[in-house]
């Protein structure tokens, strides 16, 4: 069974947009999310396949509305909670 990330061949998405002189990151937090993920995988908190899975099992509506690095951050916090590193409340700063 395919999940929402399996978009190959789907119709209905908007046009492809090319950004001239695109930077590697569009905001500092995006770079931080990338680095945070690398740090956690290197430490063995979770592995790369678990990370991909955590993105791919996002609820479809959330997946489709999230930006690329928002998906990453969602996956990171999902896994930190599931691995018992911190509670969802702690991660949310509540």
Q: Which of 16, 61, 84, 89 binds other proteins (CB under 8 A)?
A: 16
Confirm or reject binding of residue 32 to other proteins (CB under 8 A): yes
Question: Is 52 or 82 the residue whose CB approaches other proteins more closely?
Answer: 52
Window 41 to 60, contacts with other proteins (CB under 8 A): 41-43, 45, 48-49, 52, 55-56
Main-chain phi, psi angles of 75, to 5 degrees? -65, -40
Handedness of CA 39, 43, 49, 50 (dihedral sign): negative
Size of the site for other proteins (CB under 8 A): 52
Measured in residues, the chain has a length of 94
Confirm or reject binding of residue 64 to other proteins (CB under 8 A): yes
């Amino acid at each position: 069974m395919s999940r929402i990330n399996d978009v190959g061949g789907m119709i209905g998405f908007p046009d492809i947009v090319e950004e001239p002189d695109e930077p590697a990151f569009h905001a500092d937090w995006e770079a931080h999310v990338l680095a945070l993920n690398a740090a956690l995988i290197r430490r063995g908190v979770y592995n790369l396949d678990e990370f991909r899975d955590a993105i791919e099992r996002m609820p479809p509506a959330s997946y489709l509305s999230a930006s690329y690095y928002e998906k990453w951050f969602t996956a990171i916090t999902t896994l930190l909670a599931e691995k018992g590193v911190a509670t969802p409340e702690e991660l949310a700063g509540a």
